[in-house]
Structure 1
Amino acid sequence: MTNASKATARPLLEVQGIDVFYGAIHAIHGLSVIVNEGEIVTLIGSNGAGKTTALGAISRLLPIRSGDVLLDGRSLGSVPPHDVVRLGLAHVPERRRIFADLTVTENLEMGAFTVRSTADIASRMDEMFELFPRLAERRKQFGGTLSGGEQQMLAVARALMQRPRILLLDEPSMGLSPLFVERIFDIIETINKRGVTILLVEQNAHMALAIASRGYVLKNGMIVDQGSGARLRSDESIQAAYLGAH
């Protein structure tokens, strides 16, 4: 990964008016989001707002009823999830979902499933151990025996083994101690500075907006506000609803 340049106005990910259903339930209503190359963009909203569903639809894990998702101008509408990864989009799901019965090293190898060169896999793994020294210390340890914070690091590192252009992160701070929350957000900023564009879903709206260039507010499956991270963070209605202000 190379050092990130400042975010430009060139869209890398374009979500164009997508609708997502769970059976008869209309979960996502005409969602439109743009993530420019080099940005950190966050989706915030209360529990049940549709944030996780939105990420699942973008990464093709959930079907889209209407609308489209473009990655660098290419429609992902008919692209299967494993090929979405090959095109440069990686998704770290909610609750990590690492392979508990595999070692740290084996989890990282699984993340490089599209890479054919053994030397390339080894190089990428060295890069992950440099970025996540704690994983290097536990490389032979089974994933299920790691702490919650270590499992989150492993989930992120596994996704980065693909060297994605854009990383979707779903609630990376969920269930972590305050110390690990700080560490995870530091890691997110470091990854972005190394050249990876990020779309972040995060319940900790205060910290998400602090590192995001832009944000979208999702309510009942619809975008109800959007703007710079700084503007949303200072908005009194956003503070009252999502930042714990009264």
Structure 2
Amino acid sequence: MTGPETGPGPQGRRMLFVVGLHRSGTTLLSKLLARHSQVSGLQDTGAPMDEGQYLQDVIPRIGGVGALAFRKGFHRTEASPLATPEAARQLWQAWAPHWNLEKPVLLEKSPPYITATRLLQYYFPDAAFVLITRHPFAQAMAISKWSANRPAFQFVTNWLICHEVFAADSRHLKQSMTIRYEDFCAAPEDGLRRICAFAGLPPEDLLDREIRSSNAKYFAQWNDPARLRLGRAQTAAIRLAYGRRLARWGYDTRV
């Protein structure tokens, strides 16, 4: 399927999407990138976390933190009924008022779009995508306060499905890169330089705070049987089942 027809749109500006599941570092990363002199992020919109998903009605929102992969229609591509030139124009018109259109790079981040990159590329053919990942055990415990009635291992399953969908979709994307939250926290300046180079941006000093990983406290929660609500045998089975799939992302089940 071809891209949308020529019409209202970025017209010489580049779209940069930061994607990743909730509590994976998307907000941290997008706010730092938005400090670049050539980047405009969605700011002061009144929407939760200034996420573009709340500022439009073109792509139906899928609720459920930690359960995206279990929702009908969570994977969206250029084959979707949503992939029309009119939808592309409507999405641009919904987002454009919230950017500084004098900047050459326009940034957006919404966690559910981790499985909608191909649809977004249909809307914006020259878009670039940055995925930030976080160890799923830490991410699971970080979001558990919002979904306390569901066991944490379901969040890990959701993480795996969503990231494996992104990995498959990335073969269809013109421009995509992945950075790990852990690596970014260990060397944020290097991470920002890499992303700027990927996005065609000159290097700038974007750090405005000390960056520290909070994984340790979440790993402690994961290893607390009472908190995880799983027996040793169940935990061992989960680690065995997830081990090979997590290793592909550079993660170990022993934390």
Considering only CA atoms, is the larger Rg found in Structure 1 or Structure 2?
2
Give the TM-score normalised by structure 2: 0.30
Structure with the higher helix share, 1 or 2? 2
Structure with the higher strand share, 1 or 2? 1
